[in-house]
Each structure stands twice: as C-alpha cells, then as structure tokens.
C-alpha cells in the first residue's frame, strides 16, 4: 500500500518570503499522480497543484511550484512571495495511475503560518 509522509507538522515564514514544504511517499508503482491541497480554517480542501509522475518537468501554478524527485520519491511544494492568505494546512496526496484506482492517499499535513 502506498503511504505519504509529511515530516514537518508546522512551518512558519515571513510574509513575502519563500517557504518549502516537504513530502515523501512510498510506492512500487512507476506511474502515478501527486497533488498538494490547501485546507484553510474554513476546512475546505483546495487543489493547489498537480504533478504526473511520467513528466520530468516540475509543475508550476503562479507562486506555487513543486520539486519532484522521482528516484528519491520526494515531492516538495515551494511557495514564493508568501501572502497572509497562504496560511493553512497543506496536504500532500498520492494517486495511483492504475485503471480503476482513484483514491487519494493523504499525508498528515503541514500547518503553515505566515508572519506579517
């Protein structure tokens, strides 16, 4: 079974600075998808960014980018120019690419605080 580990329960960063959240995963599969979700205090889960394992190029969405290291099974999220609205719980998630397998496997989450 696949597992996702986020080793940083909490992180903090100064507004306008850059922060990197870590995620590692364990799988024997070669094709899969990785995601970062944001959960603000409202508790809604918001999709931040998505990466296909077969793509070598790291995904980018505005101020959010990932560093995908397939051999190391590492998938970190970099937030540039941090804003107060970025404060939230961030979850890394894995999804198999096997047909019929659709569930997301989530990590434990990292709580990000933005200091003004």
Partner 1 sequence: EPEVTQTPSHQVTQMGQEVILRCVPISNHLYFYWYRQILGQKVEFLVSFYNNEISEKSEIFDDQFSVERPDGSNFTLKIRSTKLEDSAMYFCASSERGRAGQYFGPGTRLTVT
CA-CA-CA-CA dihedral for 67, 70, 71, 72, to nearest 10: 50
Determine which residue in the list 91, 110, 112, 114 makes contact with partner 1, applying CB under 8 A: 91
Q: How far apart are CA 77 and CA 93, in angstroms?
A: 12
Segment interacting with partner 1 (CB under 8 A) among 7-15, 67-75, 80-88, 96-104: 96-104
By CB under 8 A, name the one of 20, 70, 80, 106 that touches partner 1: 106
Please tell me whether residue 101 binds partner 1 under the rule CB under 8 A.
yes
Q: Does residue 30 belong to the site contacting partner 1 (CB under 8 A)? A: no
What φ, ψ does residue 9 adopt, rounded to 5°? Answer: -65, -35
For residue 4, the minimal CB distance to partner 1 (Å) is 9
User: Which residues partner with 80 through β-bridges?
Assistant: none
Please report whether residue 103 would count as binding partner 1 according to CB under 8 A. Answer: yes
Name the one range near partner 1 by CB under 8 A: 20-28, 44-52, 64-72, 78-86. 44-52
Size of the site for partner 1 (CB under 8 A): 25
81 CB-near residues (< 8 Å, 6+ apart): 16, 17, 18, 63
Q: CB atoms < 10 A from the CB of 84, how many? A: 9
């Amino acid at each position: 079974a696949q597992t996702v580990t986020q080793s940083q329960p909490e992180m903090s960063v100064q507004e306008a600075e850059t922060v990197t959240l870590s995620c590692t995963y364990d799988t024997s599969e070669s094709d899969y998808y990785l995601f970062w979700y944001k959960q603000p205090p409202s508790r809604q889960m918001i999709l931040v960014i998505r990466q296909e394992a077969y793509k070598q190029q790291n995904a980018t969405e505005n101020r959010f980018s990932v560093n995908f290291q397939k051999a190391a099974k590492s998938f970190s999220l970099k937030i540039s120019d941090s804003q107060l609205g970025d404060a939230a719980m961030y979850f890394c998630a894995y999804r198999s690419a096997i047909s019929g397998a659709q569930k997301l496997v989530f990590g434990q989450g990292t709580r990000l605080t933005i200091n003004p």
